[in-house]
Amino acid sequence: MNKQPGTKGLIFNEPQLWEKSRNGRCAISLPCSDVKRSLLDPSLMGDAPELPQLYELDVVRHYTRLSQWNFGVDSGMYPLGSCTMKYNPKTNEVQAARQGFAGAHPLAGEEFSQGALKLMYDLEKALGEITGFPAVTLQPAAGAHGEFAGILMFHAYHAKKGKQRSKIIIPDTAHGTNPASAALCGYESVSVKSGERGILEPEAVAAIMDEDTAGIMITNPNTLGLFEENIREICEIVHAKGGLVYGDGANMNAIMGIVKPGDLGIDALHLNLHKTMSTPHGGGGPGCGSVSVVKELIPFLPVPRIEKQLDTYKFITDCPDSIGRMHTFYGHFGVMVKTWAYILSMGPKGLKDASTLAVLNANYIKESLKGTLNLPYDRPCMHECVFNDKFQQEHHITTMDMAKRLLDYGFHPPTVYFPLVVDAAFMVEPTETESKENIDQFIDAVKAIAAEAMENPELLKKAPLLTKVTRLDEVAAARKPCLRG
């Protein structure tokens, strides 16, 4: 495919509903009520709210046009690094929308919730098998919430031992939420730099690990898209001083079905089920940050926990050492249904194939673009690869300029300026769901933009040119956002 997906096209303006409102218009006819009309006490009612008055076509076109301004994974490639913005099979949405699941009431009680409890129980067992741990909680609402739950369990573990500790080691290649989670649990974050190969060196960890350090939080694969090859040795160093190892499993889509983190010495690990195992990620929607733990941490898991007694599933709350409840009821159940549908439909081979393809696609992009963009760590990567703008700097073109220009070619830009260990980072994660043809289009677009940087740098400084809104004043947009179309 030589043509790029970006095009000028027909872009509609769309005013606010109030501007389209005309007195007397109505988009719906309500059926006659079979309940006797009864007026409330006027003193309780106040003034009736004024609502825009529209006819049906106004409403349909308004929301259709707004949807055409959005870019999503159903529209095109979403190469955001460290975010796993992949296409998810629509069948998983269908399963979660089934009336027995979508209509289940959380106050129905165990007797009338056996199907939901069984699904959660079976999902916990499957995630334990995939990650290599004996117990799992599904209660945390997302990845950072899972980190928080995990470090709360570390805190409870050390308190039970009789001596609380004050510090957590955070590598410079960890996700940005890791130090925040540690701080929320009362720990001081101690930074450790990765080595020249982009991974942690055991000597660096050993130099700062002491009896006052509660543990370490390791993102693996890390935010450079590299596997922490020294993970076993690092775990041994931390354990020797009585510490615990937390695994940030947000990038599990690179090793799922290939590596079990529980076998590496990690004590607790969260997964972003809404990223790795189905459910569209982003937009503030619900997530699930399941946490897998070793045997020693089981007493501290959040309550309620699900246990199977004979053929009945029950919520268990009599857990005196538990960190308590992390979420109302048991968490975001709809996400769990989609995850379970994903696991069942993929099977062990499918999950492994997904990881294999994610790694293959990322390495294909890395090898294809490493002469076009600078590659600070030129070695096999996992699910993502990180470039920067070193080659373009002589033409005064930045990573941001190239990201903006990608919009004109019809691609959502990759993650930029993260991770911080790479100056002006240009971070690409193709995921396993993009075809070679789509990836080749992206590669060709980046190469074309790199050529423009040499031949017509002023063009890139003005990009994007084909979008509804062109180059914004980003400082003003952050400080004084205008939310009108």
Place of tokens 């100056």: 423
CB atoms within 10 A of CB 363: 17
Q: State yes or no: pLDDT of 374 exceeds 80.
A: yes
Q: State yes or no: pLDDT of 400 exceeds 70.
A: yes
Q: How confident is the model at residue 36 (pLDDT cuts 50, 70, 90)?
A: confident
Listed in order, the ranges of the chain carrying CATH 3.90.1150.10 are 348-479
Listed in order, the ranges of the chain carrying CATH 3.40.640.10 are 91-345
Q: State yes or no: pLDDT of 485 exceeds 60.
A: no
The whole-number average pLDDT for the span 443-454 is: 98
The whole-number average pLDDT for the span 82-105 is: 93
The whole-number average pLDDT for the span 26-47 is: 81
pLDDT in tens, 325-346: 999 999 999 999 999 999 999 9
Q: State yes or no: pLDDT of 324 exceeds 90.
A: yes
Q: What is the pLDDT of residue 444?
A: 97
CB atoms within 10 A of CB 160: 13
Q: State yes or no: pLDDT of 283 exceeds 70.
A: no
Q: Which CATH superfamily is domain 348-479 in?
A: Aspartate Aminotransferase, domain 1 (3.90.1150.10)
Record the tokens describing residue 287, joined without a space. Answer: 């997530």
Q: State yes or no: pLDDT of 405 exceeds 70.
A: yes
Q: What is the CATH code for 91-345?
A: 3.40.640.10
Give SS3 for 228. Answer: coil
Q: What is the pLDDT of residue 397?
A: 98
Instruction: From residue 17, give the alpha-carbon distance in Å to each of 21, 28, 50.
Output: 6, 16, 12
Residue 293 DSSP label:
E
Q: State yes or no: pLDDT of 307 exceeds 70.
A: yes
pTM value is 0.92
How high is the mean pLDDT of the chain? 94
- For 65-86, the three-class secondary structure string (H helix, E strand, C coil) is HHHHHCCCCCCCCCCECCCCCC
First vs last Cα of the chain: how many Å apart?
Answer: 33
Q: State yes or no: pLDDT of 1 exceeds 60.
A: no
Instruction: From residue 122, give the alpha-carbon distance in Å to each of 62, 110, 125, 305.
Output: 43, 16, 5, 13
Give dist(CA 93, CA 102) in Å, integer.
11
Task: Find residue 213's DSSP bridge partners.
Answer: 167
Give dist(CA 111, CA 23) in Å, integer.
52
